[in-house]
């Protein structure tokens, strides 16, 4: 009895695996050259607004210390 | 009876062999489109200059290992959680602690800020994800308003609000991810497929639709459709646990950090790994990764206490940051990209810019 349940489970599991693989194998893909070009153009387009990449003036970065005045 | 048994084992064998041949076909299809390497295409891009990034703030107050942190959308507040059960909300500009709550469990491995900035979520060894509204009323006890949302059958490893305060996505040591309604605590969708503990997750940028990526101890990174619960793509190139996954800002790719001491970039439309970020000298696991705003830089925290900064396109390291005195366990770039924060087993968090 229990071995039959176990093997039924194994079959159900195996069927799910096959179904999942069929799904994954059937998706549409693009060439790495095209994908790379798109990643690069995204970087280029957004480089100007990337503070950690290009650096922003100290006055505009709340984390960078500005020269402070001391009250004497 | 005996003939039934034979029939079943034939079916099982047939299914297994079909699975193997499908795996082979998948690899073949992927290989057909592998016409060039990303770093080759990136040769025509200008190399990056020297980076000077320093610790600008050190947040001290946790009594034990910092395990997780998240930024508030106001680009200033940070929530962090620790092994000692404490969850703290900080003002990163002033380093002041604004809220603190003690969880009933130790190892609070996950925490997240709600999009509204009015609540935080956290969990860990209690197998739950709980939401705490943030109140500025000094007389109110934060723990009193706690709401238990998610229930897993093993530890909570990661959590994230979706685009609103209404839903939370969780990942667990029980091998599943799940989507929950915060108000009712109802399970909206569960995601089965990982063969071992799920350690991390990241939601796709809102423009790209309802998917998220998860990584686990089964060395797999899986991309899920949030509505159907279906796994739509899976990647298995890492050689050890995947500790961190993060989408590239365009949503077309994601990076991963693993105990195999490498970080990798997977392009979703090419359906394959397109870059590996590794060096012979880097032998300790990468615990956490995040991109700068343009996606050109990948910041990765490692178990050897350092943070490496990688040129995502060219595949080379552009900077190495020292400062933490123990493993870096968590790392996130601020919402406006002006800084990034790292948390460590040395009990502190550091904000770098």
Q: Which of A15-29, B132-146, B150-164 has the lowest mean pLDDT?
A: B132-146
Distance (Å, rounded) from C-alpha B353 to C-alpha B24? Answer: 46
pLDDT, mean over chain B: 94
- Helix extents (H) in chain B: 2-32, 38-41
DSSP label of B111: E
User: Which token pair is B288?
Assistant: 């956490």
Q: Give B281-305 pLDDT, tens digit per residue.
A: 999 999 999 999 999 999 999 999 9
B256, B215 Cβ separation under 8 angstroms: yes
Say what the pLDDT of residue B285 is: 98
**Does pLDDT of A70 surpass 90?**
no
Pick left, alpha or beta for residue B220 (phi over 0 → left; psi -120 to 50 → alpha; otherwise beta): beta
Number of Cβ within 10 Å of residue B10's Cβ equals 10
Interchain contact, B312 vs A39, CB within 8 Å:
yes
Q: Which of B19, B48, B313 sits opposite A40 (nearest CB)?
A: B313
- Provide the residue count of chain B: 353
User: Which token pair is B92?
Assistant: 């990163």
Interchain contact, A32 vs B313, CB within 8 Å:
no
Mean pLDDT of B164-186: 97
CATH fold of B51-352 reads: Methylamine Dehydrogenase; Chain H (2.130.10)
B58, B350 Cβ separation under 8 angstroms: yes
- Three-state SS for B150? strand
**Does pLDDT of B3 surpass 70?**
no
**A34 CA to chain B: closest CA distance, Å?**
8
Distance (Å, rounded) from C-alpha B215 to C-alpha B245? Answer: 6
Q: How confident is the model at residue B1 (pLDDT cuts 50, 70, 90)?
A: low
H/E run at residue A36: helix A32-47
Interchain contact, A36 vs B36, CB within 8 Å:
yes
In the beta sheet, which residues pair with residue B202?
B213
CATH 4.10.260.10 is the classification of domain A16-55? yes
**Does pLDDT of A7 surpass 60?**
yes
Contact list in A for residue B15 (CB cut-off 8 A) is 11, 14-15, 17-18
Say what the pLDDT of residue B7 is: 72
Would an 8 Å CB–CB cutoff place B15 in contact with chain A?
A: yes
B195, B175 Cβ separation under 8 angstroms: yes
| Reported ipTM | 0.90
Q: Give B57-85 pLDDT, tens digit per residue.
A: 999 999 999 999 999 999 999 999 999 99
**Does pLDDT of B125 surpass 80?**
yes
Number of Cβ within 10 Å of residue B258's Cβ equals 26
Number of Cβ within 10 Å of residue B147's Cβ equals 14
User: Which token pair is B62?
Assistant: 């946790």
**A45 CA to chain B: closest CA distance, Å?**
8
Interchain contact, B15 vs A18, CB within 8 Å:
yes
């Amino acid at each position: 009895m229990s071995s039959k349940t176990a093997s039924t489970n194994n079959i159900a599991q195996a069927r799910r695996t096959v179904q999942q693989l069929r799904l994954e194998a059937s998706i549409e893909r693009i060439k790495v050259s095209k994908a790379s070009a798109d990643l690069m153009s995204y970087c280029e387009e957004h480089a100007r607004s990337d503070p950690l990449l290009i650096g922003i003036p100290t006055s505009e970065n709340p984390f960078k210390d500005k020269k402070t005045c001391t009250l004497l | 009876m005996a003939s039934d048994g034979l029939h079943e084992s034939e079916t099982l064998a047939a299914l297994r062999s079909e699975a193997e041949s499908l795996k082979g076909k998948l690899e073949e299809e992927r290989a057909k489109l592998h016409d060039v390497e990303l770093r080759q295409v990136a040769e025509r891009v200008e190399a990056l200059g020297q980076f000077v990034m320093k610790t600008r703030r050190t947040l001290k107050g946790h009594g034990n290992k910092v395990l997780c942190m998240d930024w508030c959308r106001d680009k200033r507040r940070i929530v962090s959680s620790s092994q000692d059960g404490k969850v703290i909300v900080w003002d990163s500009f002033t380093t002041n602690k604004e809220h603190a709550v003690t969880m009933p469990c130790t190892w609070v491995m996950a925490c997240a800020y709600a999009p509204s900035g009015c609540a935080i979520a956290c969990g860990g060894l209690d197998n739950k994800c709980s939401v705490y509204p943030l109140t500025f009323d000094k007389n109110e006890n934060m723990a009193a308003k706690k709401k238990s949302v998610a229930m897993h059958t093993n530890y909570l490893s990661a959590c994230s609000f979706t685009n609103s305060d209404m839903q939370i996505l969780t990942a667990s040591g029980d091998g599943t991810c799940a989507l929950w309604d915060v108000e009712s605590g109802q399970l909206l969708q569960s995601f089965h497929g990982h063969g071992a503990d799920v350690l991390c997750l990241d939601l796709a940028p809102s423009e790209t639709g309802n998917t998220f990526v998860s990584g686990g101890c089964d060395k797999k990174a899986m991309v899920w459709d949030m509505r159907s619960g279906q796994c739509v793509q899976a990647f298995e190139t890492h050689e050890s646990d995947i500790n961190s996954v993060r989408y590239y800002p365009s949503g077309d790719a994601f990076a991963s950090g693993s105990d195999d001491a490498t970080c990798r970039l997977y392009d979703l439309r090419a359906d394959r790994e397109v870059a590996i970020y590794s060096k012979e000298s880097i032998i300790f696991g990468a615990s956490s990764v995040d991109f700068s705003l343009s996606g050109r830089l990948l910041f990765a925290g490692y178990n050897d206490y350092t943070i490496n900064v990688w040129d995502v396109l060219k595949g080379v390291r552009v900077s190495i940051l020292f400062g933490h005195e123990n493993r870096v366990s968590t790392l996130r770039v601020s919402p406006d990209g002006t800084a990034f924060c790292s948390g460590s087993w040395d009990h502190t968090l550091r904000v770098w810019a």
